[in-house]
Structure 1
């Protein structure tokens, strides 16, 4: 689900943090990062589940600590880099990962992830199964709606979208 994560993460961040100077491109990348990581691992058969390491609280916390340790306090990009773990946490909430505690709190439960609830043998099958689920379609439409609401300030959706892509702000 792309729009579900991008749209709601952007909306929630702007609503909660009200930060007009943040480079939101980092936020958007972070909102998709767990799926990029886990779907790639699944695609190359490193895992038998499309929600593994990227969907753990450990990954989000490790990302936060890594950014805090690697970047200097005076680094002007540090604030932007910190948007990634914020987006990772939003992703976990939007995926309702509290319902998959073995994955969320991995490796606490014997190092096992929650059982896969998909019968897909490939990413193509996973995609085809997903687009036939009403819940997924409704979430994607909801995400598009919140993306539109977030970017339609001053009735300038197209200009704001282009600014978001080019400079990370709108």
Structure 2
């Protein structure tokens, strides 16, 4: 045996789906589930965050629809702010709008990673809360129509 090998403590986090929720930590050391009401509150919190991911997508899509202009509207005004290589009908977005949209994307990425890490606790209840929260968020925030394309073809986290 090499002199560099160190004894490792046994793993305490299960790497399989489990229903054992007592004294489980979720993401942070202070988020320890000790009681049934604490577990229920954790399930609700996780479901709400999963639903909010769809809300952020809806907000972003609404902002984009509000910014949409008829083809040629930007070019017809003789705007000097459009670069020469911008195709007709494409309007350059303002810097504040781009910052706002990037900030929404940052929040969406952080929440997506947060939800992914919760799923990696392998707690069946928390996993189901993510799925139910996503379904509820889709039901509340999506407004499908026959001609509208989905902005995100894959809901694979990030």
TM-score by length of 1: 0.26
Larger radius of gyration between Structure 1 and Structure 2? 2
TM-score by length of 2: 0.27
